[in-house]
Amino acid sequence: MEIQKILVTSKLHHKLKTLIESFDIPKEFRFLPEDQVSKEDYEWADTFVGFRPTPNFEFGNIKWVHSLAAGVDSFMKLDWNKDLLLTRTIDVFGPKMSQYCLSYILQDAQLHEQFSNLQRERKWEFHIPKSLEEQKVVIYGTGEIGGYIGKTLSSLGMKVYGVSMSGEQKPYFEKVVTLHNAHTILDQTDWVIGVLPSTNETQSIINESTFMNLNGVGFINVGRGATVSDVDLLNALQSGNVRKAILDVFSIEPLPTSSELWEMPNVTITPHISAVTLPIDGVKCFVDTLSKLENGEAVKNKVVIDKGY
């Protein structure tokens, strides 16, 4: 693919300009804030780079779109045709999300909250921490990020199972099943981790039918909020099917102040920070993808439009 004119849009366009220019790429660039992009810019460019489409986005002469973020939900709302290429930033989110999930699993296993409460009460009580080797985790989503989380947790001895659209077997997973067969591996599970993208098929896919098969599990969601039924999660937290939830993503963000989740003692809320996309991360992936496309090499970060990821 021959690329000549690249339109980069973001509120961080000045930062992106500095980073991209440091790579000395022999192309024409326009760096603009999202609200200053015009129809003429889209007619000029053959490539669009940004975290999301601009409000007045149009394809114009664009043949390649690169998302500086891992998620491409907003780009899926565009009217794509088979001749257009969409890529996304990869490779940096697996380690970050793995560390996020592991931190809460270890905090729970080592009884941090329990011992902190005892310290405040000046009580010396003997409690044995839980062993990771005795715990089972089910990860919804076994792609790049889910696979990295699976690798991290399995390396520490956890029994890792996976759920995906295809049910394709993957390294580091004891077993992978399809979304429709998830109930077959949910028994005696200690943790469920959601890493699913938001697609038509995954809307509220983690719901009552999932939670009813669980008993006192820890639930972490670092995928997309829309993949979980809010009502069913609340019910599961109240019934004890889910004993605690660590939630980094929500169907509405920021999470409304009226949400019951804010006041639930068994819920930890973080503001979508489990894998923050740094400008340098997106730029490095963009530059690498550009090089591969121009050299006719395969790109592993291509988005399958029909699937949404």
Q: Which residues are catalytic?
A: 224, 272
Collect all residues with Cβ–Cβ distance below 8 Å to 294 and sequence separation of at least 6: 1, 2, 3
Q: Using only the alpha carbons of the chain, give its radius of gyration.
A: 22
Neighbours of 112 (CB within 10 A): 13
Residues with Cβ < 8 Å from 204, sequence gap 6 or more? 226, 227, 228, 229, 232
- Residue 216 region by backbone torsions, left for phi larger than 0, else alpha for psi between -120 and 50, else beta: left
d(C-alpha 290, C-alpha 296), whole Å:
10
* Tokens representing residue 108 in the block: 């729970």
Please say whether the beta carbons of 186 and 214 come within 8 A: yes
> Tokens in use for 11?
């509120």
* Token pair in block for residue 57: 């986005």
